[in-house]
A and B are shown apart, each in its own frame.
Chain A
Amino acid sequence: MLRTLVIGCLACLMVATRAWSAGTVQVPVLYIKQQVERPPVLSNLDDIPVDEGLAGARLAIKDSNTTGRFTGQQFSLRELAFEPAADPAAIIGQLQAAEEHFVILDLPAATLEAVLQADLGRERLLFNVGAPDNRFRTELCRKDLLHTLPSRAMLTDALSQYLVKKRWSKWLLIEGPLEGDRLFADALRRSAEKFGARIVGHKVWDGARDARRTAQAEVPRLTQGVEYDVLMVADEWGDFGEYLMYRTWEPRPIAGTQGLFATAWYRTIEQWGATQLQVRFGKAAGRPMGARDYAAWAALRSISEAAIRSGSAEPAMIGTYIQSPEFELAAYKGRKLSYRPWSGQLRQPIALSAARSLVTQSPQEGFLHRVSELDTLGFDQPEVQCKRN
């Protein structure tokens, strides 16, 4: 396969090295993004970029076309954007009418679920880059759905491995009132059980006060009377989590969604050539790259990598190659990435970072797995009930 491709592209290079040759094959990709209404938060220093996710896909198109020049393949992106209030039926309608085989879905969980229940009209390959919900990997999995965004379970497993290795295994859990907070807290409970940590106390932040003014008085009381190693916070939108730091009754570190947090991508990642991706992204998007941008980048690069390796423009062939054991993606994480056959999840190392410094990368050494250590993060094959066929 490799040889045929090399010979194949030899021919196209004879024609031109700079311009697209006459025989250029098109690989179109559709990106559907629904904006999400951000709840009012106390910690509002950072805006959520409107092009979150999209900017990663755009960069991957550029990267892929630099290579495509040599292989006679051109990758293109069509972007469809929807408001938070958009009716899922409108999104489904657009999807049904779309010509593209490859579709990147940057949707909130409820919309994604609606899309998955609809008849999409024809065979496609869908990439979820917006919903970290575990159930898309464990209950709602299907053959034509891949996830490049890590599940919540992968994030909390990554964090738990490190804390357990540090022997900081008694946790006080404070969770916010929102749906995402509840799901993150559930994922933490599951990880605690999986790796032998203990949740010794549990509090809910009811969100009634302005923590910027009252945290100094309230956080000590909230964290008093429990003996614990780490204060675990489940606050996905960044409402109150930042205000727990330095205010606990006992001097304790904060981890979870704030403090030490787990992420697929963050600006502190620089090893394994990551600096190059960070610089490239920064130039193109004018801001640092985030986890959703990385997920979209990885989805598009998976498509182009499979197209280049399989030497094919046939969508079905590309899709098969992505999910074959031959597929591997170098993605600045020091390991080759591939998809779990049982859930369609991209297996990948997860960074643990503080706001301005990378702390470590999981899987941690010593957490063993019979096939790939990367599968110690998230749901392993025996834990997944749904069938992808």
Chain B
Amino acid sequence: MLFRNGSIVVLWLASGVFSALHAATAYVSNEKDNTVTLIDTERMEVTGTIDVGQRPRGIILSHDMKTLYICASDDDTVQIYDIEQQKFVGELPSGADPEQFALHPDNRHLYISNEDDNLVTVVDVVKRDVVAQIDVGVEPEGMAVSPDGRWAVNTSETTNMVHWIDAKTHELVDNTLVDQRPRHVEFEPDSKTLWASSEIGGTVSIIDTDSKLVRHKINFSIKGIHPDRVQPVGIKLGADGRYAYVALGPANHVAVVDRKSYEVVKYILVGRRVWHMAFTPDDRYLMTTNGVSGDVTVIDLAELKPIKSIKVGRYPWGIAVRP
């Protein structure tokens, strides 16, 4: 079992120590560096690096913002990092090759997709114990739990389905077929609608939670970019309810989608092969991880414009922001 020393390689800039303590921090997992980069979201500068397990991908914060969970895919574990103590305090039995995960609103049940085993593993983060394992399709990837706590959904990339798991009984109760290679799922705050991106299909499906049927399909088209290169991955929904942001992978753009009309209102140029995104406090900025260019793009959401790119580690994948 892996247990790396949790020391932080701190690169404090002389003047930044005190202001950094109050600013929000973005945590970026670097898939091919086995590190997590820390970014001060006020100054938009890298402030430190944490050594983590092998091939870190999914990264989320507990709802109380005290704990950071990191999927160390090649170590077959989820690492638990205590933010206040600035050290690793344990691991969760995630099952093999954990990639993405989602935390139930109860702050206790973590739903983890095990890419190599066609399973979703449910872990109790307090007992650090496996509660259930659920058979899903081939290459489970995206995970989300509905804000009302009723549904856990998983996407399987090669089966091309969204699997609906009852969060009480941990049984798979329904499936929705979507376009090729579904990557990421995100619930609307009212839990009534689910957004699901299909990377190779090039679409985002809007799925009705009650009927589990695809209600609408969003297509993307960027001038000068071949449609095959438009590959939706990460999705983020703004707190004000107005826009959804869809990362388009090797198209190197983030699409801004109106959440009422489902029309794309803008494409924002970011770094190369954009994966996932996170908002800074009050949704002022959106930060994107760009796998191939190895950086994070900062988008000013008032202007819907990219304002800065920040160099991080190799193949940045996931991102979480702690206010």
- Please give the residue numbers on chain A whose beta carbons come within 8 Å of chain B beta carbons, in ascending order: 2-3, 5-6, 9-10, 13, 17-18, 63, 66-67, 69-70, 273, 276, 279-280, 308-309, 328-330, 334-336, 372-373
| B159-184 residues at the A interface, CB under 8 angstroms | 159-161, 163, 171-177, 179-181
Q: What is the bound-complex CA distance between A372 and B228, given in angstroms? A: 9
In the complex, the answer to whether B177 meets A330 with C-beta atoms within 8 Å is no
Residues of B within 8 A of A372 (CB): 228
In the complex, the answer to whether A6 meets B180 with C-beta atoms within 8 Å is no
Residues of B within 8 A of A9 (CB): 175, 177
Contact A67 to B161, CB < 8 A, known contacts A2-B177, A336-B201, A373-B226: yes
Q: How far is the CB of B219 from chain A (nearest CB, A)?
A: 14
In the complex, the answer to whether B213 meets A67 with C-beta atoms within 8 Å is no
B75 interface residue (CB < 8 Å to A): no
In the complex, the answer to whether A273 meets B175 with C-beta atoms within 8 Å is no
Main SS of chain B's interface residues? loop
Residues of A within 8 A of B199 (CB): 330
In the complex, the answer to whether A13 meets B118 with C-beta atoms within 8 Å is no
In the complex, the answer to whether B137 meets A280 with C-beta atoms within 8 Å is no
Residues of A within 8 A of B283 (CB): none
Q: What is the bound-complex CA distance between A359 and B231, given in angstroms? A: 22
Question: Which of A10, A279, A328 contacts B180 (CB under 8 A)?
Answer: A328
| B83-126 residues at the A interface, CB under 8 angstroms | 115-116, 118
Q: What is the bound-complex CA distance between A32 and B99, given in angstroms? A: 38
Q: How far is the CB of A336 from chain B (nearest CB, A)?
A: 5
Contact A276 to B115, CB < 8 A, known contacts A66-B138, A330-B181: yes
Number of interface residues of B (CB under 8 A): 35
Q: Which residue of chain B has its CB nearest to the CB of A67? A: B159
Q: How far is the CB of B41 from chain A (nearest CB, A)?
A: 30
In the complex, the answer to whether B138 meets A328 with C-beta atoms within 8 Å is no
Question: Which of A70, A276, A328 contacts B161 (CB under 8 A)?
Answer: A70
Contact A6 to B116, CB < 8 A, known contacts A17-B172, A63-B158, A66-B138: no
In the complex, the answer to whether B228 meets A336 with C-beta atoms within 8 Å is yes
Contact A17 to B176, CB < 8 A, known contacts A2-B214, A6-B213: no
Residues of A within 8 A of B213 (CB): 3, 6
In the complex, the answer to whether A66 meets B159 with C-beta atoms within 8 Å is yes
Supply 25 A–B pairs (Cβ within 8 Å), ascending by A.
A6-B175, A6-B213, A6-B214, A13-B173, A17-B172, A66-B118, A66-B159, A67-B156, A67-B161, A70-B137, A70-B159, A273-B139, A276-B115, A280-B116, A309-B177, A328-B180, A330-B157, A330-B160, A330-B200, A330-B201, A334-B200, A334-B228, A336-B201, A336-B202, A373-B228
Q: What is the bound-complex CA distance between A237 and B56, given in angstroms? A: 41
In the complex, the answer to whether B180 meets A329 with C-beta atoms within 8 Å is yes
In the complex, the answer to whether A63 meets B138 with C-beta atoms within 8 Å is yes
Q: What is the bound-complex CA distance between A312 and B304, given in angstroms? A: 45
Residues of B within 8 A of A276 (CB): 115-116, 139, 157
Beyond known contacts A10-B174, A336-B201: 15 more, CB 8 A cutoff: A3-B214, A10-B175, A13-B173, A13-B175, A67-B159, A70-B137, A70-B161, A70-B175, A273-B181, A280-B116, A328-B201, A330-B181, A330-B201, A334-B250, A336-B200
Contact A6 to B177, CB < 8 A, known contacts A280-B116, A336-B200, A336-B228: yes
